[in-house]
A = this chain, B = another copy of it.
Amino acid sequence: MTDQQAAIARHFADRFLHAIREKNAPVCVGLDPAIERLPKALLAKHAVDPGDTHGSAAVAAIHEFCREVIDVVAPHVPAVKINIAFFERFYAEGVRAYSSIVKHARDAGLIVIGDVKRADIGHSTAAYADAQLSDARPGRLPDGAIPDAVTVNPYFGFDGIEPFVRIAREQGKGLFVLVQTSNPSAGEVQGVVLSDGTQMSDHVGSLVQRWASAAGLVGSSGYSAIGAVVSPRDLPSTKRLRTLMPNCLFLVPGFGAQGRTAGEVAECFKPDGTGAIVAASRSVIYAYDGDAHKQAGASDWRCAVEAGCKEFVRAIRTVLSDR
């Protein structure tokens, strides 16, 4: 490996773009495992008591579900996003399962985004960054049990995420700063109009671009280790954010179940087809609950997940080829 190849191998955005090209799929699958929606066969296998969805049997079922989903989607997508909230529900047992699933996904060759939405100030945010993003923990966790990147919250300004940035720089990791989210009340804060006529999400986008373009963070691909979570709200705001943040990979949640359409996510990409990673969660991981699957009459839930994943990848490829 040349020095330049080694540098690319170490830079988060360069690695991500390489993985996207290999799979021809600028996407990731979101793992938000709710015990209530797991395949009935899996719940039965682990003897999950419907009246006790917080116990060890539930953790075991979720653990197996996530491992199986990862094995099924790994040939088709470059990355998974794992939401820690669904593991925190099980306290220590859940946190242990989260680390195990992160490792399983990384061992499967996937880029792993830990969807942790952390941030705090000073020593506290340093502790979060250490916990959630740093590999440098000799002997504490097995290799690969920490994600390649995490999501963080911008409300504290730069020093709220600075320790994450430091780890990204030193360890070839990444982060995605929340800019615009997909929930109904997001506009209450993110949509507020500022004195210059722009919106709060534009302002946060400008901040993120400034942070992202700092020395040493932009890889040979032109993208930074600092990306942005951008859920399309309307075409003008998406175009504006894409222009405001030329060095940022967009992590685009909400495709499928959260209602974002192909036309909406198209604007998250640059004209060359790079710049965004579209995430789908429920439409893939619970595909066995969907009408399409029921009509097809397939018996194994894994086949439905694989079909859902391939359908998702196809839809995003169509988005790009139709531009």
Q: Bin the interface of chain A by size.
A: 35 or more
Closest to A96 in B: B92
**Bound form: Cα–Cα A184–B125 in Å:** 14
Q: Which A89-111 residues sit within 8 Å CB-CB of chain B?
A: 89-96, 99
The answer to whether A189 touches B119 (Cβ under 8 A) is no
B157 A52 Cβ-Cβ under 8 A:
no
The answer to whether B124 and A83 touch across the interface, beta carbons within 8 angstroms, is yes
CB distance from A114 to the nearest CB of B (A): 12
Q: How distant is A102 from chain B, measured CB to nearest CB, in Å? A: 11
Q: Is there contact, CB below 8 Å, between B193 and A130?
A: no
| Most chain B beta-carbon contacts within 10 A, residue among A90, A93, A153, A186 | A153
Contact (Cβ within 8 A) A92 B93 = yes
Residue of B54, B128, B141, B258 near A85 (CB, 8 A) is B128
Encode contact with B along A125-164: 1 for CB under 8 Å, 0 otherwise. 1011011100001111100000000000111111110000
Residues of chain A from 149 to 200 with CB closer than 8 A to chain B in the complex: 153-160, 178, 181-190, 192-195, 197, 200
> Assembly of this chain: how many copies?
2
Contacts of A128 in B (CB 8 A): 85, 88
A183 contact set on B, CB distance < 8 A: 121-122, 156-157, 159-160
Contacts of A155 in B (CB 8 A): 153-155, 178, 181, 189-190
- Minimum C-beta distance from A134 to chain B (A): 9
Of A95, A115, A194, most buried by chain B (CB within 10 Å of CB) is A95
Closest to A30 in B: B124
Residues from chain B with Cβ under 8 Å of A83 in the complex: 120, 124, 127
**A263 contacts B by Cβ under 8 Å:** no
Does A123 belong to the interface (CB within 8 Å)? yes
